[in-house]
Structure 1
Amino acid sequence: MKKSLSILLSLIMIAATITALPFTALADETGVCGDGVTYKFYASTGELDIIGNGAMYDFDESDPAYDSLADDVHYIFIREGVTHVGNYAFDFYPNVEYISVEGTVNDIGIAAFAGCSKAEAINLDEGINSIGAGAFDECDALTLVDIPDSVTYIGQAAFKYCYLNSLYLGTGVEEIAYEAFAYCYLSELELPDSLTTIGEYAFKGNNIYEIILPSGLTSIGEGAFLECKYLVNAYYDGNAENFEALLASEYYSTFDNAALYYTEGSCGENVDYIFDLDNSRVEIYGYGDMEDYAPYTTPFGGNPRIKTVKFSDGISHIGSYAFARCAGITSVDTNEVDSVGEGAFIDCTGIKKATLHSRTKDVGAWVFYGCTSLETVDFGAYSDILPYTFWNCTSLDSITLSPAVETVYMNSFNGSNDNFTVTAYCHTNGIESEILEGTNRKWNKLHYETSAEVTPATFTKDGFKEKYCATCGDPVGVETINQIKTCALSTTTYTYNGNAKKPTVTVKDKKGKKISSENYTLSYSSGRKNVGTYTVTVKFKGDYSGTKKLSFKVNPKGTSLSKVTAGKKSFTVSWKKQSTQTTGYQLEYSTDKNFSKNCKKVTVSSNKTTKKTISKLKGGKKYYVRIRTYKTVSKTKYYSNWSSVKSATTKK
């Protein structure tokens, strides 16, 4: 498909005839390339500017007008006023490094920039509506693409064979056509809520490991995610019935072997669920029993995004194997559930605490089998500990049996650590043997411990718990609650990307032990998306008391230098426009490449400006230049990171 742009040179004759002539690369050139559109080629810099008002001509793949100009173009700028980039206009320009298309362009034509194999960066401004078939096909040096929010359609093979490390799909994209991003080696992909159509093989052969399919989808073409060998989990924002209506073919010919999870559905005759993807939370609601599942048939099994499960009032039974292999779940609370089915939480390796309430009297075998992080179990009214219930719970150092426990079956605690102990009430309620069946470990007949009074720890002093036996009232002892030492955010500085930021909080006591999030609540200030400073308020409760305010900031997204052109005792800097969440730019130049001395800064107050000339410099001197964006919020300036450095030697 190796073709070049045929430019029509306007020859002013008596008949005002327009004749198509080829480019030459010997000197600067101008000419006509559309109705009201001209080109300007700068031989010294390799820059090709398309300027004017109107549409470029469309060219033909079979047009023989290939000329030497294609080899000399390094930068292509489609300037404001141009409304259409012509079909095959710049296909297979072998040395193009940078492409910029401004927002007056309505559509980019078929194969307009296809085969520009050295193009490392493209700038697509807001205002573009459509990207044509093969527009950037085989631009295999291209690693990052930001699709503007104004784009609604991305055509067939538009970015096929681009080696993309990063892809932002704008919030207005509605259709992604056949093979649009096939074989792009994408590892991450976020689909916008506006998307309605995914064409056949649209993302075939990528490296994505999970995908969230928005609820507004109306069609998913055959093989849309075929050969995505790392794709293990797919999430659909809706139910199974709606999803099946989207597919043009069988599920496995679209997603290979990826597991599919829905955000809503049924899990019992009168029981439904909602899966909140944003908060990684499943709520089981309705009334009656959840369905009992065979292994590997549950709608939740192995879902790595589930971190919290809530059982609403009215749920009486947790289904067998319902949450098997959900490694992200950190705690279980049965609420008003009467029974828990066999293997319900088997191999949930992230569970640290299990709370079985007083109504939960029937717990099946294998329920917490392989829960290697389980540290705490509250037994409630649970009476019989069945075989393999806590098998291989290697983090379980000790348990306290409730008065209701009557039988501990063989192999219930096999695989626990060597220091594992059991504490029973001071009356054993019918348990005769002091040896756990199937083990050599003995339990201690100690007082049952409960907290009668708590003095909470603060940032300045320790707290303590006074413990008493719940049965006889004897004092058991005092437990120290170490004072709070540190309270920190996971991240204090972000770069704007259009998404709300929510850093996590880690709290540690004076001995460096992490304090559980059950002991505090978090309140985040509103917004947290745009550039600015935001607050997280940590309010302690339970064993701790006090309040701590933490702050983080969102800086603007940076930009990059396009070029630095030397002039007489001056140089001119051009850069990529970055108008989202910015006020302007700050240039810094120096004769020191490390910017440790002789540095001067220049502020450009408009975010629409993309060029600046620095004059009154020394002639014949090499200057190093870099740029960053800034945004002013409430009289405070927030800066992006500095760009990469470019240099130029001024003329005398």
Structure 2
Amino acid sequence: MKKKFLSVLLALCMVAGTATASPEQMIVQAAEEDIVDPVGDDLRYGNYQYQVQQDGTVMITKYYDDETTSIVIPSEIDGKKVTRIWEYAFSSCSNLVSVSIPNSIDTIGESAFSSCKKLTNITIPNSIDTISRGAFSNCENLTNIVIPNSVKCIEKNAFSGCYSLTGITIPDSVTTIGNSAFSRCYKLEDIQISDATYDIGWEAFSATAWLSAAFDNDDPYIILNHVLIEVKGDKSITNFTIPDSVTSIAGAAFRGFNNLTTVTIPDSVKYIGDYAFNQCTSLTNVTIPDSVIGIGEFAFYSCDNLTNITIPASVMQIGDAAFYGTTWLDNEAKKSPFVVINNILIDGSTASGNVNIPNTVTYIAGHAFYENKNITSVTIPSTVTQIGAYAFNECGNLKSVTIPTSVTKIGAYAFSSSGLESVTIPASVTAVDEYAFSECPNLKNVVFLNPSTKFVYWRVFADSPNVSVSYGDQDQNTDNNSTKNNNNNGQKIIALSTIKSSVTSVTYTGKAQQPAVVITDTTGQTVDSSNYTLTYSNNKNVGQATVTATGIGNYTGTLTAVFNIVPKGTNLSKVTVKKKSFLAKWKKQSAQTSGYELQYATNAKFKGAKIKTVKKNKITSIAVKKLKSKKKYYVRVRTYKTVKINGKSMKLYSNWSKAKKVKVK
């Protein structure tokens, strides 16, 4: 998962208003992310499943007619305005050809229309400012996209795999295009894009006709609208001077250039993208010119020998872990427990005990205290306005934090896996990002002093089993961790205890899968489904999927169960016998597979069977030799995919095919 903080990229995605602004204005005007808690039960309206959100509007969570070819999404349901389309809501509509999205919709969730392979065109409503990650990915027949001037950010993989797309016009409002946004749009050759788009992620246009044509010219690099997209040739170059026509360095432009010892950045450059110089292990000195205002996440990460860096006062944002793994940062951390650059706290790895962050700090960058096991409490000064993603992640001994009324946003995973026991979120905080307080086993009392604080509940407290959330008085003093109003209206609170998935594995279908679960509470009683919400993750592709249950109403706690998604199987098409051997052939199954296993034995129950492994899913036959003449053999085949589960590589297998019996010559 990506460890993101409030970088220039995020600021651009969230900035309010419709007028095109300069990069400087985009950073200064960054607004809070608008995340709303789906607090209601799942309801039905025709084929639509929906939930009523905190603000009284409707979010569509699923559409239940996989055979439909045309959909007109309503602007109202039961008198309530429809404003959101949730993750994967229409992804199972494999026959969908056309869809009309009303202007009431302000958010289209992750992969909402992914794999709608028959969808031919789409008009994004002008109420949308961000096209979410994977929103229209793998829409193979999508030939026409209309993107309105309201859109400012196109997130990663938004249109990846749209094979039939030949042209795209990016309006002036768009400043950010995420990683792989248009990757694998093989026919895409006409890209109309304005100079306003300066933050382009890595591989944004990989495997497109446009990029192939750009490689065919004689230039040593590829520049799109003053953005340095890629440097051609191998990665053996030792020095490079960026042309003074470049205003932005795209994500991963120099990533892995291990022999690069010097790079000259001209004063025309305003933004250095995510991972731009990541793993440039031979770099020793870098001078960032006064023109640069933003440095993306992991920009110089793992530049092991980088010892001297000049960072000008013009830099207003420094990305998550931008300089981690450099000798420079290690040396700076030895000088002071707080490495502060232009009022941005980028590192507190050597701090310990009761920490008082300096009042010169205005922003705590992502990963600032990551994995610091030596801090026990943190007092954040009233100068700080935002806490970046992963800022205090894995701080296992951190028991308390004081969040001042100046803070407006808490980033994703900010306090995840910490030792926090209680926390008060001041009324000034209007947004809390996903998993901000997840996996906090000691966290019991959380008080939100602003009932309108927007967050996705199950994500914020995922796997924090003992947490109890209440809402206090906005006028209450917020610069402490009081839980004064945590009375839950006098109702008895019952904790969820166990969760069990109805299946241990399901077969890959290309669609999101949601097997049922059985949940019990601490009294041993089975909990009715009306008392919890279920959220599934990683539940589409082959691998280990997760289902998370979060108690609602009188039920509290978060439980997680897992189930495996195994690859789809195949069948033997033919087994040809030869002298003391046979040739087995099977049907190709390339979707979500790594290869095949062929099993053969001299008995129908396959006792003492032997296995041949084919490590490429493109190969659909194998010869088995040195067999016993005139002997009968039973043969079957299955697919497998190698995946990582809990950091370890393992194979997940399909069911075996029907066996064929052959007698070798």
TM-score, structure 1 normalization: 0.35
Query: Structure with the greater relative contact order (CA < 8 A, sep ≥ 6): 1 or 2?
Result: 2
TM-score, structure 2 normalization: 0.35
Bigger-Rg structure (1/2): 1
